[in-house]
Chain A
Amino acid sequence: MTTRQARFAGPLPYAAALVCLLLAWLVCYPLLMTLLEALGGPNAWTLGHLGDFIHRQDEWMALWRSLWISVASVILAGAIGVPLAFLFERTEFPGRRFLGAVAALPVALPPLVGVIAFLFLYGESGFVSRAVQGLLHLQDPPWHLAGPGAVLLVHAYSMYVYFYLFVRAGLARQDVALLEAAASLGASRLRTLFTVTLPLLRPSLGAAALLTFMTSLASFSAPYLFGGGFRVMTTQIVASKLNGELGLAQVETVMLAVLAILALAAMRRVEGSAGAGGATGVRGIAPARRRLASPVARGTAFVLGWVMAAVLLLPHAVLALISFVPPFTWTTETIPPVLDGRNWAALVTKPEHLRPVVNSLWMAAAATLAAVVLGLAAARLAAVRRRGFLASALEWLIALPWAVPGTVFALALATAFGVSQPWLGRFVLIGTPWILPLAYLVRNLPLTGRGALAGLRGIDPALEEAAASLGADRWRRLGRIVLPLLRPALAAGAGLAFITALGDFVTSIVLYTYDTRPISIEILASLRLQDLGMAAVYGVLLMTASTAAFLLWGRGEAR
């Protein structure tokens, strides 16, 4: 297959410039505002805050910790996700299908909810801790869910899924002829794995690593709840804010963003040479699955598989359980003494309780739709103009929101769109219902945009040329040829984007108002009121919606 794109389709350069401008306004502008404030802002320019940062040991410590925790998360998530992908894609054993789907479940657990579930399971008075403590007759809890280990655990749990999904999709796309060629040239299975299979997986591995790294870098809930004295940059920013050192907080924000951008640049070089995913030539047949020969191996796989399923399902199960705990009935007992459906009933009898659910659903839906349209537009313009300044700019702008941690971006948006200066492109959006969907939109642009880009690069350019030769103008080509073929990639991006927007916490906490509060804020509110049951109800609702979205759309060629 040629690598030429349908160059003749060259859309008006104005369109590309327009989208670029729009993205720049949405993505760069808030960042710029933050940078300005870090340097003292329009009132009193100063490098003092920067100086504070540079001279403080613990600032550099926090930055370093953010970096190594993210790298460690990538390694750990990869170490779990990649073998799992191979296991479920390349071998056959009883229960493989079901367990293979279960293995992807953590994707449906929103960050805040997941962290809380972890607390309930593995915290000092968590179910599992207490069970182990009882079984082994220990005086003290068997472990403390605190410090970097705890953070890594949470990260590994939620993020191995990226490796699992992407690598599975990558393996399914591989051509068995390549493996057979290697074998015919005398390569052992191990050698084939390292010299053929894994290198071919580079796009998938790269994409998963990038997503994991960025998510870890911006992760807040886990370090906040479990970090303790182990501060990473995101928690450090919050600490500075609470101390009233706003200028320092801005500098810290900028530093974190710089680190993220550097990582993004480095990752793109790795990915770039592999073609950012998509077509790798003539599509062949995927290798057939190996039946595990010995009954011992099969039995082990079976048992381990179900154990793994149980472990993965525990957080979901625990949430479901706690949703049946009426308020104020569970204090120090190991197991909740009272269980009934009061909380669930309240959802129906007090409509006010449904408000956050409705809010989250419409805001996530609106944001996802906009993110798909904008991401597709940007990707199409970037894909068509293969080389050139505008193409690179568009690709960068699409991925840039990842470089910015959620809180940071929310604050930047609040700053940028808190005043009305239309000539500077600033409108008052804060306090309106539109600021949250806008925030979700920008945060999710990388997911939809990159998905669209990878999908577009996988479409044979001859198809569009054929359509043009038959008289189809660029809109008809888009609607009848490109979009239908792009559907799996777009749907996967949209699915992930929807789930992320639905469960968003860090952006929402900065920008919400009482009327627009999403589910995650309501969960926090319930927790503050010691109403664990209600918090768990919302958690379960969030989980269900996420799982549904994932099953409907996200399963395809997730990128």
Chain B
Amino acid sequence: MPPFLILEGLDKSFGSQAVLRGLSLEVNAGEVLALLGPSGSGKTTALRLIAGFETPDRGKILVGGEDVTALPPEKRHFGMVFQHYALFPHLNVRENVAFGLAGRKLGPAMTTRKVADALALVELPGYETRRVGEISGGQQQRIALARALAPEPRVLLLDEPLSNLDPTLRERTRRELLRAVRRVGITTVLVTHEQEEAFHLGNRVAVLHGGVLHQVAAPEELYERPATRFVAGFVGRASGLPGVLTADGGVKINGVDGVVWTGEPASDAGSVPGTAVELVVRPESLAFTDADRNSLAGRVAERRYAGSSTFYAVELALGREVEVLAPADAAAEGDTVRVAPAPGGLPPRIFRASPEVLQLEDNPAGSPHVP
């Protein structure tokens, strides 16, 4: 099936500030794509470009084969849910939800039907006569969704839809949101800075940083095979150990003799022996060991008990800090331990060492790479 929504080489600058560089993405029909990234990554700008509130300096946007780049937002037939909902304060719920139906000449009976359907979809039937100021934040969010979906748009855009809700409400609303979107089967692009939200809601997740797309893939792929160092650190917890590539593709860890760990190289690491690289490993891929060979010595600096799992921050003798996931009784703060890759765990990833990592190497004050 050909992709439904295509972004081709989008560039956008505000004044001298380049916010998006060469963004190209394809979204399949009925898919939910999450745009994930820290603030300033350009994800909101990308969404606003798709919606038509900004025009790209370069690039194209195609929907169902149609080039909509020059089309004003009111003609694109996209639905959008805003971060602060943007419900019209002077209209009641019914008038808000029916707003997008006005141009269609549906007649009052049909309009009433559609409004009721939209409200039923978000599980708020009977709310027609309520005023915007009378309903709670979570309900406002759902009304905003109903309003966006009532005109049956071809694409749904969500701008940090859950960031305004308190955490207990967020989880529940997230499930309801997913249910509603799946029921309608609409192509959806959602912007968020929370990895958990992106993983829960998105069929695929696109990670943006500094205006550049780092990787777009299903959540498993992102987590297990991150394409860049940034993705490795942003999606899930990770520790980094600088080293050099060996002849057989392993990494000799710097600062200690004879420790060589294996891993999966990312594309930028290459395969030339002697390349300065960084070995990035997740907590669940490390374990405490008694073996002296091929393990790193360290001291437990902090033990963080999180109920179902316990994380140990270990200060290694070579001057770096790593995080280890281990049973709750594995060690206590202050213990001397040895750390090695956990058998059967996710292989670590190997990335070309970035300039910052190399600089830190020269000043071994030791900095935690745990994000």
Contacts and interface: CB of A to CB of B under 8 A. Distances in A.
Interface of A: 6-8, 460, 462-463, 465-473, 476, 480-481, 484-485
Contacts of B72: 8, 468
Nearest to A460: B86
Nearest to B150: A470
A462 B157 CA distance: 14
Given A8-B72, A465-B82, A471 B103 contact: yes
B53 A465 contact: yes
Interface in B25-59: 51-55
B54 A8 contact: yes
A414 B265 CA distance: 84
Nearest to B147: A470
Among B73, B78, B80, B103, the one with the most A-chain Cβ atoms within 10 Å of its Cβ is: B73
Contact of B82 (A6, A7, A466, A481): A466
A472 B84 contact: no
Given A8-B53, A465-B73, A467-B88, 20 more contacts: A8-B52, A8-B72, A462-B84, A463-B88, A465-B51, A468-B52, A468-B73, A468-B74, A469-B51, A469-B78, A469-B100, A469-B148, A469-B157, A470-B79, A471-B75, A471-B100, A473-B74, A480-B99, A484-B90, A485-B89
A484 B75 CA distance: 24
Interface string B79-106: 1101110111110000000011011000
Contact of B88 (A6, A471, A476, A481): A481
Among A460, A462, A471, the one with the most B-chain Cβ atoms within 10 Å of its Cβ is: A471
5 contacts: A8-B72, A8-B73, A465-B82, A469-B80, A471-B151
A485 B90 contact: yes
B85 to A, nearest CB: 8
A470 B86 contact: no
Interface of B: 51-55, 72-80, 82-84, 86-90, 99-100, 102-103, 147-148, 151, 157
Given A8-B54, A471-B151, A462 B86 contact: yes
B86 A472 contact: no
Contacts of B147: 466, 470
Give me the 3 closest cross-chain CB pairs, A-B, nearest first.
A470-B100, A462-B86, A466-B86
A481 B99 CA distance: 11
B51 A467 contact: no
Given A463-B86, A485-B89, A471 B53 contact: no
Contacts of A480: 99
Given A8-B54, A485-B90, A469 B99 contact: no
A476 B86 contact: no
B90 A466 contact: no
Given A462-B84, A481-B88, A485-B90, A467 B99 contact: yes
Contact of A476 (B73, B80, B102, B151): B102
B52 A470 contact: no
Contacts of A471: 74-75, 77, 100, 102-103, 151
A485 B52 CA distance: 24
A529 B51 CA distance: 70
Contacts of A473: 74
Contacts of A467: 88, 99
Contacts of B54: 7-8
A465 B88 CA distance: 11
Contacts of B76: 469
B88 A472 contact: no
A466 B151 contact: no
Contacts of B55: 8
Nearest to A468: B73
A468 B55 CA distance: 15
Nearest to A6: B53
B73 A462 contact: no
A484 B52 CA distance: 25
Contacts of A6: 53
B140 to A, nearest CB: 12
A349 to B, nearest CB: 48
A356 B268 CA distance: 87
Nearest to B75: A471
A466 B102 contact: no
Nearest to B52: A8
A400 B99 CA distance: 39
Contacts of B74: 468-473
A119 B272 CA distance: 100
Nearest to A481: B88
B80 A466 contact: yes
Contacts of B87: 466
A470 B90 contact: no
Contact of B99 (A8, A460, A462, A472): A472
Nearest to B79: A469
A468 B100 CA distance: 9
A463 B77 CA distance: 17
Nearest to A465: B53
Contacts of A460: 84, 86
B310 to A, nearest CB: 38
A6 B74 CA distance: 13
A468 B103 CA distance: 12
A83 to B, nearest CB: 34
Nearest to A464: B86
A465 B99 CA distance: 13
B5 to A, nearest CB: 15
A23 to B, nearest CB: 27
B308 to A, nearest CB: 37
A455 to B, nearest CB: 13
Nearest to B98: A470
Contacts of B151: 470-471
Contacts of A8: 52-55, 72-73
B135 to A, nearest CB: 16
A462 B82 contact: yes
Contacts of B88: 463, 466-467, 481
Contacts of B157: 469
Given A8-B72, A465-B86, A481-B88, A470 B99 contact: yes
A476 B157 CA distance: 22
A484 to B, nearest CB: 5
Nearest to B80: A469
Nearest to B84: A462
A198 B89 CA distance: 30
A476 B102 CA distance: 10
Among B79, B87, B90, the one with the most A-chain Cβ atoms within 10 Å of its Cβ is: B90
A7 B14 CA distance: 13
Contacts of B53: 6-8, 465, 468
A193 to B, nearest CB: 31
A515 to B, nearest CB: 43
A214 B132 CA distance: 41
A469 B148 CA distance: 8
Contacts of B99: 467, 470, 472, 480
Contacts of B89: 485
A460 B51 CA distance: 18
B235 to A, nearest CB: 28
B99 to A, nearest CB: 5
Contacts of B75: 471
Nearest to A474: B74
Contacts of A485: 89-90
A485 B79 CA distance: 23
Contacts of A472: 74, 99, 102-103
A469 B149 CA distance: 11
A488 B72 CA distance: 30
Among A6, A470, A471, the one with the most B-chain Cβ atoms within 10 Å of its Cβ is: A470
A320 to B, nearest CB: 40
A465 B148 CA distance: 12
Contacts of B51: 465, 469
Contacts of A469: 51, 73-74, 76, 78-80, 100, 148, 157
